[in-house]
Amino acid sequence: MSAHLLEIAFLLASAAAIYFACEFFVNGVEWLGRRLSVGSTATGTILAAIGTALPESVVTFVAVAFAHDDAQRQLGVGAALGGPLVLATIAYAVVGATLLLADKRLKPAGVQDFRRLSRDQAWFLAIFVIKLAIGVVAFAWKPWLGLFFLGAYALYFWREITGEETGEEEKLDPLLIARKHASPPLSLIALQTGAALVAIFLASSFFVHQLDVLAPALGVAPQVLALFLSPIATELPETMNAIIWVRQGKLRLALANISGAMMIQATVPTAFGVIFTPWMLDRTLLVAGGVTLAAVIALWAAFSGGWVNRWFLTGVAALYAIFVLIVVGLH
């Protein structure tokens, strides 16, 4: 039991390390966006999302491109489906719960913010439907569709970077490693952001490793670990970023970061999976895809209608609970 307590302590310590590193990352990436003349929304959807999702995309690429057997490749395919599911349910629910705990209202800069986020959800839906559809049919030229997913993200990237920003510019806290600089040099901004990103990647890898060690010892089946716990662990940096930005009152950045991370998860890891595997989805992965679609449709309706609120965001976690119940029933 003492060994289990030690593993649990390591797990909690790695989670704390991720949160601490995210504090430095969000501070640095805000300054990076300011220096690159990128609006605050694009800072969340592009700069922050790429930073936290890149390590996961690399892991997926390694899993599908250099796997020794089909089982390992399927883990990579599962990650490509599990990431969007967790972001569309757990990550948004964490934003809502944080707002409730901090007694803050859901008030972005204006209605245009909601509309822009609803457009992100619409983009995601269109791409995700294609992602699921090609997973139920086999055809010879399927690997070429990997280029479609990469191109879709490139188009999204261009649209976000060149899009018109709405609302007032976010006030920035001093750069944490250069508090006395009113306008810190780009070299220090890049140093802090890059070092924080490396720390997030290492701490996240250690967190997942601790889950791999602890779960079997506690009698958790490997399938349960792969389906339920690992995706939540790999999306922990995005969730931590959201908590930090909500706590700081920067709701636009928090929501944009989740939205941008979902677009990456819907395209880049999928492209790797389509190119290097047959990309045939079993019933469990199709259930994950169906629940993700339900969550995003609900989010799209709420954002486009302007009636989204903190209770609604918290409630989308129920869809993840439904996913768990369905999968347990199937197995």
Q: Which amino acid is at 60?
A: T
Structure tokens at 285: 């992965």
- Count of CB atoms situated within 10 Å of the CB of 248: 17
- Count of CB atoms situated within 10 Å of the CB of 318: 12
Per-residue pLDDT, 55: 67
Residue 113: pLDDT over 80: no
Token match 């790797």: residue? 272
Residue 190: pLDDT over 90: yes
Distance of CA 97 to the CA centre of its chain: 17
Lowest mean pLDDT segment, chosen from 28-42, 222-236, 249-263, 286-300: 222-236
Token match 């909690």: residue? 12
Dist CA 41 CA 32 (whole Å)? 13
HSE on the CB side for 222, CA within 13 Å? 3
Q: Over the stretch 272-304, which tens digit does the pLDDT of each residue have?
A: 989 988 999 888 889 999 999 999 999 999 988
Is 160 within 8 Å of 42 (Cβ atoms)?
yes
Average pLDDT of the segment spanning 303-326:
91
Structure tokens at 56: 């996961």
Per-residue pLDDT, 128: 94
Per-residue pLDDT, 311: 93
Q: What is the largest CA-CA distance in the chain?
A: 60
Per-residue pLDDT, 188: 93
Dist CA 36 CA 18 (whole Å)? 26
Q: What pTM value is reported for the model? A: 0.86
Is 315 within 8 Å of 305 (Cβ atoms)?
no
Q: Residue 171: CB partners within 8 Å, gap ≥ 6?
A: none
The packing angle between helices 236-247 and 251-276, to 10°, is 170
Residue 231: pLDDT over 70: yes
Per-residue pLDDT, 220: 61
Dist CA 293 CA 202 (whole Å)? 31
Token match 């999702």: residue? 53
Structure tokens at 157: 């990237």
* Between 24 and 225, residue with greater pLDDT: 24
Is 270 within 8 Å of 149 (Cβ atoms)?
yes
Is 154 within 8 Å of 325 (Cβ atoms)?
no
- Can you give the three-state secondary structure of the chain, one letter per residue? CHHHHHHHHHHHHHHHHHHHHHHHHHHHHHHHHHHCCCCHHHHHHHHHHHHHHHHHHHHHHHHHHCCCCHHHHHHHHHHHHHHHHHHHHHHHHHHHHHHHHCCCCCCCCCHHHHHHHHHHHHHHHHHHHHHHHCCCCCCCCHHHHHHHHHHHHHHHHHHHHHCCCCCCCCCCCCCCCCCCCCCCCHHHHHHHHHHHHHHHHHHHHHHHHHHHHHHHHCCCCHHHHHHHHHHHHHCHHHHHHHHHHHHCCCHHHHHHHHHHHHHHHHHHHHHHHHHHCCCCCCHHHHHHHHHHHHHHHHHHHHHHHCCCCHHHHHHCHHHHHHHHHHHHHHC
Arithmetic mean of pLDDT over the chain? 84
